[in-house]
Amino acid sequence: MAISRAASINVFSVALISGALHGGAAMLFVPIFSFLLLCWSTSAQVNPSPAVDQGMVLAVIAPAFCAAFGFVVGALGALAHHALAQNQRRDTVEVSEPTQIRTASVTNVA
């Protein structure tokens, strides 16, 4: 089904919104998962390992990486939309055949 009115969208705006959504989701979920992983990994240890510190630093840096990933994915998605919308705007040829009408005769009842 062709797009009836393919509107142009701002690629930068879509990329910013996608980046903000990915970064916001990462700010919410990555520290929670990192904290749960920290609790599960250090439950039997008395002294936490240096990998725990690296994991906590990664939990702080991860939203920036996720926002950058969201920005790139949003830009690619908007560019793909433009490519598909341009493809849908091509002129098409519509062919219609005249309707044939059968007239009923007096002798043909069926």
Residue 69 lies in a domain: yes
Question: Of 45 and 8, which is predicted with more confidence?
Answer: 8
State the burial class of residue 28 (Cβ atoms within 10 Å of its Cβ: 0-12, 13-18, 19+): exposed
Query: pLDDT > 70: what percent of the chain?
Result: 69
> Is residue 70 included in any domain, yes or no?
yes
Residue 110 has pLDDT above 60, yes or no: no
Residue 20 is part of which domain span? 11-88
State residue 64's pLDDT score.
93
C-beta of residue 25 within 8 angstroms of C-beta of residue 66: yes
| 94: its two tokens | 């519509």
Query: Which pLDDT value is given to residue 74?
Result: 94
Instruction: Give the total number of structural domains in the chain.
Output: 1
Closest CA relative to residue 81, chosen from 21, 9, 16, 13: 9
Residue scoring higher pLDDT (22 or 43): 22
The token pair at 84 is: 């598909």
**Considering the domain boundaries, does residue 63 fall inside one?**
yes
Structure tokens at 41: 């990994």
Q: Give, as one character, the DSSP assignment of residue 106.
A: S
Residue 78 located in a structural domain: yes
Task: Compute the average pLDDT of residues 29-47.
Answer: 74
Instruction: Give a yes or no: residue 48 inside a domain.
Output: yes
Q: Which of 41, 66, 43 is nearest to 51 (CA)?
A: 41
Quote the mean pLDDT of the chain: 79
